Amino acid sequence: MTKEKDRFSDSIAARFANSESAECLILKSESDVGVRRNLGRNGARFAPKAIENTFKKLNHHLDVKSFLSKTVAYQNEELADYDQAIQKSSDRIKEALSYGQNKKLIHLGGGHDHAYPLLKALDSNNILIINFDANCDTRIDNIKHSGTPFRNFDEESKNKFHLVQVGIHDYANNKATLSELKNNSEKIIYTEELTKLKSPLDLVDQIFESCPFEINKDTKLFISIDSDAISSSVMEAVSAVNHDGIDPKELLAWVEALKDFPCETKVLGIYEYNPIFENLSQKGARYLAGLIYKFLG
């Protein structure tokens, strides 16, 4: 019993508490309705708990001393009235963010459509969005879903943001999806361009150079990771498995470099992981838990 108790006390799980003063806030959007509206496979609604439970098992060597976990989106609400549920989710996120300034923020989906209510809650001038994805998720459609979050935010936000899309495949996006945003700036970095980078700082330099506003402490940084951007060598558990995805080690290095941007508000969002299609190794969940650890490290 003593050994088991010691193992728990050394784990991240021991640092979870129901306290609004926690240093790290984990927001969970437990729905995949947006994925299915985009004709994807259901199951991503189980991802937030699967990733969080794997993260909790890691040994704690982080500066972050306490964690608070909050569910901000529910499957049953989105099935009843999707648009109303998305607004409720945004309101819950905004309330959670009011607990304190400059917390470490993790957002776990669910579908990538949940990036939209998160951005609505963060909405202010000079948001820098760095989206690692195979698809731009700027689809033009008559309904909101997991393929439209950044287009939706561009059309509705009164403030300015800059969107950098990393790891994009041209064959995975139609011409309408690749068309320019109406109100905000965007840079697309295709997969083949990533092979020319000599170090993680090369990507950082490209992001700085493309941004139309100064990146400083007032900039809100949102690192958005659609799990299907990642190579199938570790990420099989997604709706669209990526045979030519981002190298997992390189993504870890990029996240480590990006988290040092001089922004007081930094959010890491992880979307589209689907535990139903995971194998017994749980390598996808383990990798994503390690990605969170790297972001908080």
Which CATH number do you get for residue 217?
Answer: 3.40.800.10
Q: What 3-state DSSP class applies to 275? A: helix
| Interatomic CA distance for residues 297 and 293, integer angstroms | 6
Q: Which pLDDT score, from 0 to 100, does residue 101 have?
A: 62
Question: Cα–Cα distance between 228 and 69 in angstroms, integer?
Answer: 24
pLDDT digits (tens, 9 = 90+) for 209-224: 999 999 999 999 999 9
Q: Are strands 185-190 and 220-226 parallel, antiparallel or unpaired?
A: unpaired
3-class SS of residue 259: coil
Cα(98)–Cα(81) distance, rounded to whole angstroms? Answer: 26
Phi, psi of 229 (to 5 degrees): -75, -20
**pLDDT digit string (tens) for 134-193?**
999 999 999 999 999 999 999 999 999 999 999 999 999 999 999 999 999 999 999 999
Burial (CB count <10 Å: 0-12, 13-18, 19+), residue 290: middle
**Which residues are CB-contacts of 216 (< 8 A; sequence separation ≥ 6)?**
262, 263
Confidence label for 2 from pLDDT (cuts 50, 70 and 90): low
As a whole number, the mean pLDDT across the chain is 95
Residue 103's pLDDT band (boundaries 50, 70, 90)? Answer: confident
Instruction: Give me the mean pLDDT over the 236-241 stretch.
Output: 94
Could you tell me the pLDDT band of residue 75, with boundaries at 50, 70 and 90? very high
Q: Which residue has the tokens 């972050």?
A: 64
From residue 294, give the alpha-carbon distance in Å to each of 67, 134, 181, 254, 287.
16, 22, 32, 10, 10
Total domain count for the chain?
Answer: 1
**Dist. CA 155–CA 98, nearest whole Å:** 25
pLDDT, position 5: 60
- Predicted TM-score of the model (pTM): 0.96
* 243-274 tens-digit pLDDT: 999 999 999 999 999 999 999 999 999 999 99
Per-residue confidence band for 4, with pLDDT thresholds at 50, 70 and 90: low
What is the span of the domain harbouring residue 103?
Answer: 2-296
**Tokens 């990733």, residue?**
51
Task: Provide the pLDDT for residue 20.
Answer: 86
Which one has a higher pLDDT value, 34 or 97?
34
276 Cα distance to chain centroid: 19
